């Protein structure tokens, strides 16, 4: 039985018990009336708490919908932090290829934000391109490189996590046209449907994998 049905049942029980209180009081049975009075009070109290839980669940669903519509955003302070960290990262041999998931406007917008940050950090950026990769991108931001120990990819991965963006490194065995690619995929959500904010430890675990 779900919470809404429990709440409806408790509401009905409170009303029914209240009616029985009146009937038994009028019929000269105060003890039975008191018994149903207690039942009515308990049912009303239960209905109050289930109603609060239902309202809380609805608020969570509304927050999740608003987060989905808002998309991934970075505050001015986060943009400055990300730019500062990327300026301290190793330099790339060539341009960084930057792609957003085709058809995903939120991903494309974020890719353009990241491009400006990379340019401000004095990287050469090729893109933003739009592409639908075979097999999909998965959630978050992919950093594709040819070597697992690539220090630039690791630095970008950690920097993105530190401003709340979910990212992971993917190692390719074949040399790409550019040494490093950043692909912005769709926004990740947790099992409750809310935006998952990664921690810096997520980046460290992924770097070790």
Cβ-contact 125, 95 below 8 angstroms: yes
Query: What CA–CA distances, in Å, run from 145 to 150, 152, 206?
Result: 7, 9, 14
Other Cβ atoms within 10 Å of 63 Cβ, number: 13
**Cβ within 8 Å of residue 164, ≥6 positions away:** 74, 78, 197, 198
- Domain map (residue ranges) of the chain: 3-70, 76-208
Model confidence at 7, pLDDT cuts 50, 70, 90, reads low
Instruction: Say if pTM beats, i.e. exceeds, 0.85.
Output: no
Q: Is pLDDT at 116 greater than 90 in this prediction?
A: yes
For the stretch 154-186, pLDDT in tens is 999 999 999 999 999 988 766 555 578 999 998
């Amino acid at each position: 039985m779900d919470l809404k049905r429990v709440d409806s049942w408790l509401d009905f029980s409170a009303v029914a018990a209240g009616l029985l209180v009146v009937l038994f009081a009028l019929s000269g049975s105060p003890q039975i009336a008191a018994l149903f009075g207690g039942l009515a009070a308990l049912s009303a109290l239960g209905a109050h708490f289930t109603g609060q839980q239902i309202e809380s669940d609805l608020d969570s669903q509304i927050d999740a919908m608003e987060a989905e519509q808002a998309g991934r955003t970075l505050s001015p302070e986060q943009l400055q932090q990300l730019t500062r960290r990327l300026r301290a990262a190793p330099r790339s041999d060539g341009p960084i290829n930057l792609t957003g998931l085709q058809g995903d406007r939120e991903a494309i917008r974020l890719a353009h934000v990241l491009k400006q940050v990379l340019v401000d950090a004095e990287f050469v950026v090729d893109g933003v391109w739009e592409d639908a990769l075979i097999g999909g991108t998965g959630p978050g931001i992919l950093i594709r490189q040819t070597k697992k120990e690539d220090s630039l990819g690791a630095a970008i991965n950690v920097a993105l996590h530190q401003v709340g963006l979910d990212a992971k490194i993917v190692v390719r065995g074949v040399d790409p046209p550019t040494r490093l690619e950043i692909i912005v995929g769709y926004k990740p959500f947790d099992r409750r449907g809310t935006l998952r904010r990664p921690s810096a430890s997520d980046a460290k675990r992924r770097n070790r994998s």
